Amino acid sequence: VKVVIAGNPNAGKTTLFNSLTHSTYKTGNWHGVTTFSVQKKVKDITYVDVAGMYSFNAYSMEEATAAEDVLTADVIINVIDSLTLENSLTLTKNLIAGGRKVVVYLTKLNCLKARGGRVDVNLLQKYLGVPVMVCRPTDLKRAVENGSINFDVKRENVNFSDVYFGGSHSLKRVERLFYNKIFAPLFFVLSMVFAFFITFHPKMIGAIAKSWLQDLITITFSNVISKHITNDILRSFICDGIIAGAGGVLAFIPQIAILYLFLTLLDESGIMSALSFVTDGIFEKVNLSGRAAFSLISGFGCTAAAISTTRGYSSLSAQRRTIAILPYIPCGAKLPVFLTLLSPIFKNPFPAVCILYFCGVAMALLFSMLMSGGEEQLITEIAPIGVPSLTAVKNKLYFYVKGFIIKVTTTVTIFCAVSWVLSSFSWNFSYVSVEDSMLCSITKVIAPLFYPMGITDWRLCYAAICGFAAKENVAATINLFFPDGLNLSVAQSLSLCAFMLTCPACIAAFASSVKEIGRKSTLKYNVIQLAFSFIFAYIVYFIFLLL
C-alpha cells in the first residue's frame, strides 16, 4: 500500500512522515524544506513524503515531482495547517476529485487556539466528505496499518463559517518588528555576531568546551590508549593518526552545536522566513530573490543540503546562480579549518572568523551580481513568527550534531588512516619518516601551486587538497601532521584561509549539484571557482606580505 503524505508547503508533512517512519528528515518552518520525494517502508505500507504543493498545476520542479507521486497513491494523507485551512482546501478538493482515498490530518491546532480560532472536525468531515483526523501521529499510524479509517463519509451541505473560524487577523507586535525592513536585517546581523562571539571568543562557552573536549580526546584518551599498546607502529597509527586527526576534529562539536542552535532558532521561530521577504531587495540587486536567503542561510550548515533547497526555484538560471555561489558561504565543516588556521596567530580568533564569514557572504552576492540570466520571481508564503518548539529545536540539533559525528567517525577517520599509512611508509612499504613517504612524493608534484600563497610545506598542501573530499579532513590532516600546532605567518595563515573560503565545496556538494544542474555545469562552476580561489589566495598573501 502506497500512502502519500501531501499538502501545502510548511503544513508539517515531513514532521508527520518522521513520526510515522521514525526517520530524521530535515524539517523547517519555511516554504520548501522538502524538495524531493522520500519514501520508507514500514511493515506492508510504503509512506511517501512529497514536496509541498498548492495544486496539480506545477509552478516549480518540486511541485511537478510531488504531483507525480500523488497520482500513483493508494491512500493520500492530506496534511493541512489549521492556521491557513481556508486556502489549503483548494488542494484538498483537487485530491478528492482525483478519486483516491483521502484522509485529512490537521496540524498546528494549538497555534489556532492561541489565536482564538476553532475548527469543528465533525462538520469539516461532512463539508469535505472525507475522514478528518486530529490525533497523535502514532494513532494515525495505527489507524492506517489496521485499515480502521472509515472512508465512507457522506458529504453534506454545511456552511463553512460553522466549520472554521481562523481567529484574530491582526499581527502581533513582534511580527510587525520582524517585517520591518530596518529592524529585521539588523537583528539578523547582530544575532549572528552574538552567535559567533559565544562560539569563538576564547572566554566564552564554545571555546572553553572545545578546549576541554580537545584535552580529553587528544591528551587523556590518547595517553590511556598508548599505555595499553606496546607495538610502536600500531600506537603511532591509533594515537598520532586516528585520535590526533579525527579526534581533534570531534573536539569542535560544542562550537558547531552552538552555531547550529542559533540557525535552528532562527529557522523554527519563523524569523528566517520573515528575513527572506525583508532582504528580497538586496537579492533583487544580485539577480536573485528572497528565496535565496533560505539556501544561503542553510549553506552555513551544509552546502550539499543547501543546494537541494534550490529545487523549488521557478527559474532554472536563478537555481544555477544560487548553486554556483553557495560554496562561498562557509559551511559548518569549514569552521574547524578556520579555527585551526587562525588560533595560532590570534589569541582571540572571533573578529577574524567573523570577517571571514561576512567576506564569504559578500563574495557570494558579488558573484551572483556578475552572473547574468533570468530573474527569480518572489511569490512565497511567509511563516508566522512565534516561539520555536523545543522538541523541533532539540531534534534538529541532534540531527545536525549526529551527522557531524558520523562524518568524523567514518569518512574523516578513514581519511586519517589512509593519510597516516601513506605518510608513514615508502613505496617499498618500509616504515619511514614523513619526508621519505609515498605521500610526500605524490604531493610534491602539485605543491608548487601553493608556493605563491606562501605555503611551501607539502603537508599543508596535502591538507588543503583533502578538503575536496570533506572539509573536516583539512583540520584533521593538520592535526595529524602538526601535533604541536602550526607555525605560520599572518600572511600564510590568511592566504590559506582565503583559499579554503573560496575553493569548491566537498564531494557531497558536488554530487548534489550534479543532481540539480547536471555534470557539465557543475564541472564548469567548480573549475572556475578553483582557479579563482588560487588567484584570490595569491593576492591575499601578497597584500599581507606588503603590510
Partner 1 sequence: MNVFDLSVGSICKIVKVSVEGSAKSRLNYLGIKEGNKAEVLGFSLLNSSVLLGVGYTRIAIRKTLAKGIEVKLICSPQQKRNGVKRLIAKLKRERNR
| Residue 286 cell numbers, joined | 544580485
Beta-carbon neighbour count of residue 124 at 10 Å? 25
Chosen residue from 19, 39, 55, 317 binding partner 1 by CB under 8 A: 55
Examine residue 62 and tell whether it contacts partner 1 (CB under 8 A). no
Class of residue 1 by CB neighbours under 10 A (exposed 0-12, middle 13-18, buried 19+)? middle
Residues linked to residue 102 through DSSP beta bridges, in sequence order: 76
Tell the smallest beta-carbon distance from residue 59 to partner 1 (Å). 5
Is the Cβ of residue 169 or residue 203 nearer to partner 1 in the bound state? 169
Nearer to partner 1, 137 or 185 (CB): 185
Give min distance, CB of 360 to partner 1, in A. 20
* Strand (E) or helix (H) holding 397: helix 390-407
We find the least distance from the C-beta atom of residue 181 to partner 1, in angstroms, to be: 5
Q: Does 192 bind partner 1 (CB under 8 A)?
A: no
Q: In what order do the strands lie in the sheet with 132-133?
A: 38-42, 45-49, 2-7, 75-81, 101-107, 132-133
| Min dist. Cβ of residue 240 to partner 1 (A) | 52
Rounded to 5°, the CA angle 232-236-239 comes to 130
281 is a contact residue toward partner 1 (CB under 8 A): yes
Q: How far is CA 543 from CA 491, 496, 530, in A?
A: 8, 13, 20
Instruction: Note whether 347 binds partner 1 by CB under 8 A.
Output: no
CB burial of 426-452 (b: ≥16 within 10 Å; e: otherwise) equals: eeeeeebeeeebbbbeebeeebeebee
**Least separation in angstroms between CB 87 and partner 1:** 5
Q: Output phi, psi for 88, to 5 deg.
A: -65, -25
CB of 134 to partner 1, least distance (A): 18
CA dihedral (336, 340, 345, 346) in degrees, to 10, reads 30
277 binds partner 1 (CB under 8 A): yes
DSSP conformation class of 245: I
Strands 164-165 and 118-119: antiparallel
Q: Is 373 in the site for partner 1 (CB under 8 A)?
A: no
Nearest residue (CB) to partner 1, 377 versus 489: 377
169 near partner 1, rule: CB under 8 A = yes
Residue 287 in contact with partner 1, rule: CB under 8 A: no
Residue 442's H or E segment, with its range, is helix 438-446
User: β-pairing, 45-49 with 38-42?
Assistant: antiparallel
Residue with Cβ nearer partner 1 (117 or 483):
117
Taking CB under 8 A as the rule, does residue 314 contact partner 1? yes
Stretch that binds partner 1, among 238-246, 284-292, 426-434, 436-444 (CB under 8 A): 284-292
Q: Which stretch binds partner 1 (CB under 8 A): 279-287, 317-325, 338-346, 394-402?
A: 279-287
Judged by CB under 8 A, the stretch of 41-49, 53-61, 217-225, 442-450 that binds partner 1 is 53-61
Indicate left, alpha or beta for 40 from its phi (over 0: left) and psi (-120 to 50: alpha): beta
Q: Which stretch binds partner 1 (CB under 8 A): 100-108, 132-140, 176-184, 445-453?
A: 176-184
Compute the least distance from the CB of residue 362 to partner 1, in Å: 16
Number of shown-chain residues binding partner 1 (CB under 8 A): 41
Burial (0-12, 13-18, 19+ Cβ within 10 Å), 156 = exposed
* Binds partner 1 by CB under 8 A, chosen from 290, 332, 386, 388: 290
Residue list 74-113, contact with partner 1 (CB under 8 A): 83-84, 86-87, 90-91
310 contacts partner 1 (rule: CB under 8 A):
no
Site for partner 1 in 484-543 (CB under 8 A): none
The piece of 229-237, 346-354, 375-383, 512-520 that touches partner 1 (CB under 8 A) is: 375-383
Which one, 252 or 277, has the nearer CB to partner 1? 277
Burial class (CB in 10 A: 0-12, 13-18, 19+), 40: middle
Which lies closer to partner 1 via its Cβ, residue 21 or residue 315? 315
Task: Please state, in angstroms and rounded to a whole number, the distance separating the CA atoms of residues 323 and 314.
Answer: 14
Q: Which contiguous run of DSSP H or E holds residue 6?
A: strand 2-7
384 binds partner 1 (CB under 8 A): yes
Residue closer to partner 1, measured from CB, 60 or 125: 60
Q: Rule CB under 8 A: is residue 374 a binding residue for partner 1?
A: no
- Where on the chain is the footprint of partner 1 (CB under 8 A)? 54-55, 57-59, 83-84, 86-87, 90-91, 166-167, 169, 171, 176, 179-181, 185, 276-285, 289-290, 314, 375, 377-382, 384
